Chains A and B, each alone.
Chain A
């Protein structure tokens, strides 16, 4: 074996986009990150659709009323609920992220003494409270939709 053969480039081993989504047994914030990303992209898709449909008003009343009667289908109500749910999740988690990314609510560094804990783990109640608030809001919106 000559020296050149050994100098072969290392095999690439990046997880890729799938690595954003699933990684195995991690903390809840790891998956809130995924959820934040998915809901954000979902809202962008909805926003494009929303703007396009709203543009129909330029063509006058006829096309507008035709399009709106199309959306009376309950399938679209479910879709709308999902969009509002995505907004609630993205907003609540986003407010948590704004606070924590600026270093608030995380506490001061703590000397690592076994068993180790990390700041997000020590502040898990914030996530739980946020989850509870989100669940209440989702339920209220559902009641409003059904009634």
Chain B
């Protein structure tokens, strides 16, 4: 511990960054940068420093720099993380190896090709599907939902599509066609939604050769998830739902109805005097 503190306060960090320029390179290589350490800095701060001061050709994705957008997923010291989410002190090493996310293509340097992730996500119909297609396309009102029904899927709806789970998943390491933890978890998120009626359509997609049954519960996706979404749990619950549906054990439940129009108009609250001053 003391040694770690010492090495970090020495003030110098070595970033070994994976480089790949598609027009020039055949394969990737690591380039070393030495950058100053400042207290509380994230790995992303280091990359920004490199881009600003040392090498402006370095390419990486970044947007919100606060763990909300999910753009800066990278393989940091051999573990998929959001670069903005992990501080240098947390890593506890002064040599930090940063690579593009595995199990995707590399477009340039640290920019992975996330197209397969989005394609797979789209393929499981990640929206509320209703049997009444007219109401679905041209909604007249919202659907009702109790707070208890919300709890069923709320955790899984925090997914930011950063793609770290596919980088962690051992099945995705070889199987390009495997739907992956992200889209399977989202399939469960919509199937568990009390407003949704698309279970049957999604089962047809998910219960296929490269679908939900290629998950072997390694749990790496949940370990890597930066938003606590727990895809592994969602996939196991999806397996149970799919199996129950196949065996017709599932209790038939009605999807929640359209919210009825308000019966009585509530009187509008008067504007408090201290905010609105008539001029």
Contact of B105 among A13, A20, A114, A116 (CB under 8 A): A13
What distance in Å separates the Cβ of A116 from its nearest Cβ neighbour in chain B? 3
A11 and B27 within 8 A (CB): yes
Contact A10/B222 with A20-B174, A101-B236, A103-B237 known, Cβ cut-off 8 Å: no
Q: Is B33 an interface residue (CB 8 A)?
A: no
Separation of A18 and B220 alpha carbons in the complex (Å): 15
Given A11-B22, A109-B151, A109-B153: A27 and B223 interface contact (C-beta under 8 Å)? yes
A103 and B236 contacting across the interface, CB-CB below 8 Å: yes
Q: Which of A2-40 contact B (CB under 8 A)?
A: 5-6, 8-20, 23-27, 29-30, 32-34, 36-37
B218 touches A118 (CB 8 A): no
Bound Cα distance A1, B23 (Å) = 9
A-B contact number at CB 8 A: 155
Count of B residues near A, CB < 8 Å?
51
B149 at the binding interface (Cβ < 8 Å):
no
Cβ-defined contact, A14 with B155, below 8 A: no
Chain B interface (Cβ < 8 Å from any Cβ of A): 20, 22-23, 27-28, 77-79, 100-107, 112-113, 151-156, 158, 168, 170, 173-174, 176, 215-220, 222-223, 225, 227-230, 232-234, 236-237, 239-240, 243
Ordered by A's residue number, 30 sampled pairs between the chains whose C-beta atoms are within 8 Å are: A9-B105, A10-B105, A10-B112, A11-B105, A13-B104, A14-B103, A14-B173, A18-B173, A19-B102, A20-B174, A24-B78, A27-B219, A27-B220, A30-B170, A30-B219, A97-B216, A100-B236, A102-B239, A103-B237, A106-B233, A106-B236, A110-B155, A111-B155, A112-B230, A116-B225, A118-B219, A118-B225, A118-B232, A120-B219, A121-B222
